[in-house]
Structures are given as C-alpha cells and as structure tokens.
Amino acid sequence: MTDKNITDLTLLLMYLTAWTEPVLQDPGREVVRTWKGYSVKALYDLHIEGLIDALGNGKSALITEAGREKARQLAKKHLGK
C-alpha cells in the first residue's frame, strides 16, 4: 500500500467518524470536526494538501470543505456511496 493510499483512506475514516459542531464566535456557522488519532505522516500530508486543519495539541481536527469533497469522492469509489 502506498503512502497516498494510506492518506486517502485516513481521510475517508476521518470523514466517516466526523461530527458537526457550531462555531461559538460565529452563530449559525458550523464546522466538521474529527478525531485525529491516525498516522502523524498521513495527518501532516492531509494538512499540507489543505484537506484538514487544526493540527495543534488538541485531539481533534477540522475537515475543510475541500477535504469533505475529496472524502465524498473516496466514499463513492471505495464504498459505492
């Protein structure tokens, strides 16, 4: 399995286990958040590609709109959804 496969499947797993929460400073706006207990290299690659954000010390990360779109494509490819 290549690094790209691992990164793609990590994004897909992050997307499938994500939740939506409100942005307290911006009422009416929501973000998609996910746990980031995955390979540091995969998380770094996803961050560099602009697919996730918030790689600080917290236990969760944000999935960007670009990340959600790519994850939907991956779900269709791998899961038929």
pLDDT of amino acid 17: 96
pLDDT of amino acid 23: 86
Q: Residues 6 or more apart from 60 whose CB is under 8 A from it?
A: 33, 34, 35, 36, 54
Tokens 């670009």 appear where? 66
Domain ranges of the chain: 3-62
Single pTM value for the model: 0.88
Contacts 24+ apart (CB under 8 A), 69-73: 70/8, 70/11, 71/11, 71/12, 71/14, 71/15, 71/16, 72/15
pLDDT tens figures, 16-68: 999 999 988 888 899 999 998 999 999 999 999 999 997 667 889 999 999 99
